[in-house]
Amino acid sequence: MFKKLLFIISALIMAGGIVTTSWADVPAPPVNQNLGIPDGVYEGMAKENCWYCHVPHRVTPEIRASLGWTFPSPVTDPTLIDQRHHNRNETPIQSPTQAPNPGQPGDTYQCLNCHLTSVVDPETGMRIVEKNFEDCTNCHLIMDDTSVHHVTKPAQDKNCQHCHGSLVDNPDDGHYIVEADRVATTMTPRTQMGRGPGGSGACTFCHAPSNWNIPDGSLSGIPSNRDSHHFTGIGQPIEIAPGVPSALDCELCHDMSVTRAGDYEIRRCQNCHGILSLHNIQYDSGNDGIIFGDEIPGYGHIGNSPQDCNGCHGEYLTYKGTSMGVADYSGPAIPTLTGMSPQSIVAGSAVGATLSGLALTNRVITSEGGERTTATVKSAVTVTSADGTVVTVMPDSLSENSLSVTLPALSPGNYMVRATKAVGSIKSNPMALSVLPHVVIGEVSVSGDTLIIAGSGFGGHLDAVDSGTSVTMRAVKVRRGVSRAGAAVACSVDSWTDGEIVANCGTAACGSLKVDGIFGSAVKDVSCN
Residue 317's pLDDT is what? 61
Lowest mean pLDDT among 100-114, 131-145, 207-221, 243-257: 207-221
Is the bond into 154 cis (omega within 30 degrees of 0)? no
Q: Are 91 and 411 in contact (CB under 8 A)?
A: no
* Helix (H/G/I), strand (E/B), else coil: 101: coil
pLDDT at 77 over 70: yes
CATH placement of domain 336-436 = 2.60.40.10
CA distance 313 to 184: 10
Region 58-85 average pLDDT? 71
Residue 519 is which amino acid? F
Q: Are 357 and 337 in contact (CB under 8 A)?
A: yes
Q: Are 317 and 339 in contact (CB under 8 A)?
A: no
CA distance 425 to 280: 12
The DSSP output letter for 2 is: P
CA distance 293 to 288: 9
Run of H or E including 114: helix 111-114
Residue 440's pLDDT is what? 96
pLDDT at 17 over 60: no
- The residues spanned by each domain of the chain are 148-329, 336-436, 440-526
Is the bond into 342 cis (omega within 30 degrees of 0)? yes
* pLDDT single digits (tens) 311-358: 777 766 655 544 334 445 567 889 988 889 999 999 999 999 999 988
Residue 420 is which amino acid? T
Lowest mean pLDDT among 24-28, 124-128, 211-215, 249-253: 24-28
Residues near 294 by Cβ (< 8 Å), separated by ≥ 6? 286, 303, 304, 305
- Higher pLDDT: 215 or 389? It is 389
* pLDDT single digits (tens) 447-489: 888 899 999 999 999 887 778 899 999 887 666 655 666 788 8
* pLDDT single digits (tens) 145-193: 677 888 888 899 999 999 999 999 998 888 887 665 556 665 667 777 7
Lowest mean pLDDT among 147-156, 218-227, 236-245, 376-385: 218-227
Residue 349's pLDDT is what? 92
Residues paired with 504 in a beta bridge: 450, 492
Residue 529's pLDDT is what? 65
CA distance 88 to 111: 10
Pairing of strands 371-378, 431-436: unpaired
- Higher pLDDT: 370 or 453? It is 453
Region 215-234 average pLDDT? 69
Residue 1's pLDDT is what? 31
Beta strands in 248-299 (DSSP E): 255-260, 263-265
- The pTM for the full model equals 0.82
Residue 375's pLDDT is what? 82
Residue 120's pLDDT is what? 79
Helix residue spans in 242-337 (DSSP H): 275-279, 306-313
CA distance 22 to 372: 30
Region 400-420 average pLDDT? 96
Residue 12's pLDDT is what? 27
Region 440-453 average pLDDT? 91
Q: Does domain 440-526 have CATH number 1.10.260?
A: no
Run of H or E including 52: none
114: left (phi over 0), alpha (psi -120 to 50) or beta: alpha
Establish whether domains 336-436 and 440-526 are of one fold: yes
